[in-house]
Chain A
Amino acid sequence: MRGQGFGFIAPLLVLMFVAFNAPIVYMLGLAFWEKGRGFTLQHYEGLLDAPVYLRVLGNTMRVALVATLANVVIGYPLALWMRGLSNRGRMIALSLVVLPFWVSILVRTYAWIVVLGNGGLVNRALQWSGLTDAPVSFLYNELGVTIGMANVLLPFLVLPLFAAMIRIDDRLLQAAASLGAPPRTIFWKVFFPLTLPALAAGTLLVFILCLGFYVTPAILGGGRVPMISNLLDTLINQIPRWETAAAISTILLIVTLLIFAAYRRLDRKASA
């Protein structure tokens, strides 16, 4: 019998259309529509004239790229190390990755204020070891924002990467070893290529999340590291320019969806 089961999704579908799809469409409308004139691109022309928008875009891209790169550098060895652990060790390590993932992003961001502040753990350790005399300022600059974002997003990379790594059959690596391949060759020619789709997918996911990040730059940047989402906040809540906010949101939405489409293709390849 065709068409069975639609009744189950109908209530949620109605709610989604009214409370999610309609507002998004309304926002797109604000970006491209002018009362009495119809379709217009004037809100986008305004963006190109003001240098502040391009500067914020540059900031966002730079922080997102560095934070994503830091995620790969920290996350790949972590997932690899977890793969080599015993079952019990894997469970413990996995819990320690999953737990921060569920702790409020505000708490995790705030924790960095405590750790990186002038009297915090890191500065105490640096001064005690004699590496520096005066406290290093990690907070309220791009460095702090990047560290905080890399930290918040790390589980998004490690969890899928670890899942892909434990699916790799040990016998493949044993076969390579029995044919005389040294460990380095086994890693780069057999293991790494098999993890590449998951790594690429995870990297794209982290990058997308970086682009729209709001809480961490607002707190750890102290207003000095404006990213796209903080600019949007200003345009909505402080100087009400809704059309400009809608225009920028539309660009961010399209870029996100494009990268997400690429992510989906890679992710399917990674789990195939």
Chain B
Amino acid sequence: MIGNTPWTQRLLTAAGFFGLAFLTVPLLIVIPMSFSSARALTFPPPGLSLRWYEAFFGDSRWMEAMATSASVAAISSVAALVLGGLAVYGLRRGNFIGRGPAEGNFMAPLIVPTIITAIALYLGLAKVGLLGSFLGLVVAHTILNVPLVIMVLGVAIREFDQRIEQVAWSLGASWTYTMRKVVLPNLAPSVFAAWIFAFIGSFDEVIVTSFIAGKYETVPKKMFNELILEVNPTITAVATLLIAFTVLALAAVAFILGRAGKLKQTLV
């Protein structure tokens, strides 16, 4: 129907391939460059080596940043999952007044430009003396990831037939028992997806972290600071590891959701 004359069809195909290439080629170029033996970023690489991976794994500051990133992401993603999951359950199933504004408030960190959240948190944390503290960092990451959890679980809870829960209630199950035995097992694939998204979100967060983390270094913060100063090929190895990590995490999500037949609703 659209573009059914041969040359418009060909033009459209070319435009489509260009769009996909524009999105993916830069990432695909980074991967071979990380195995380059040269210091300069020339493409194609003159020779192959693992020296940039050795530089990364052999540097205690990078390893420390990795540990900080992983622990902040682990704690804040679980906190966002629990708090956001409970909240979105209440929003979808409850009938109290003010659900709309409450949901708007929970989604706000996604809409307010991150730089403004960063500045507000910087000023606020400085005021209460928590600037540069681990607690401040974890709380900030939790807040930033709550919207992701609410989006993913919001769809899942709406599509889960409420009558199944009502049957459990009417048979005398307590709400904790219903949660544990009825709601959670049915939502498990979406809960897993939400947790992965929150974990990636926290692991990759750079703006707020750069403002409030103080002496704590995370992988993105260190990467950002190095990129501002000079381009160091070690970054290419870090970037490749991060791409691999994202691909694996998303593949796990796709696998779990695909098995539950829920992949399509989460993708679009």
Contacts and interface: CB of A to CB of B under 8 A. Distances in A.
**Is A bound to B?**
yes
Interface of A: 1-9, 11-13, 15-16, 19-24, 26-27, 30, 74-75, 77-78, 80-84, 93-100, 102-115, 117, 119-121, 124, 151, 154-155, 158-159, 162-163, 166, 170, 173-174, 177, 183, 186-187, 191, 208-209, 211-212, 214-215, 218-219, 223, 228-229, 232-233, 236-237, 242, 245-246, 249, 252-253, 256-257, 260
A191 B4 CA distance: 14
Given A5-B94, A5-B96, A80-B2, A26 B127 contact: yes
B231 interface: yes
A9 B16 contact: no
Interface in B60-93: 83-84, 86-87, 89-91, 93
B113 A256 contact: yes
Nearest to A159: B268
Interface of B: 1-5, 8, 12-13, 15-16, 18-20, 22-27, 29-30, 33, 40-43, 83-84, 86-87, 89-91, 93-97, 102, 105-106, 108-109, 111-117, 119-125, 127, 139-140, 142-143, 146, 197, 200, 203-204, 206-207, 211, 220, 223-224, 227-228, 231, 235-236, 239, 242-243, 246-247, 249-250, 254, 267-268
A110 B227 contact: yes
Given A155-B23, A173-B1, A214-B115, A9 B87 contact: yes
A119 B115 contact: no
Contacts of A105: 204, 206
23 contacts: A4-B95, A5-B90, A8-B94, A15-B83, A16-B105, A20-B105, A23-B120, A23-B123, A23-B125, A24-B117, A80-B12, A104-B246, A106-B239, A107-B239, A120-B29, A159-B268, A183-B2, A215-B224, A245-B119, A249-B119, A252-B113, A256-B111, A256-B112
A211 B139 CA distance: 26
Contacts, number: 287
A260 B113 CA distance: 11
Contact of A236 (B122, B142, B235): B122
Contacts of A77: 12, 15-16, 19
B91 A9 contact: yes
Contact of B113 (A93, A155, A212, A237): A212
A106 B206 contact: yes
Given A77-B12, A174-B1, A215-B206, A110 B115 contact: no
Contacts of B140: 19
Main SS at interface, chain B: helix
Contacts of B24: 96, 99-100
Nearest to B17: A81
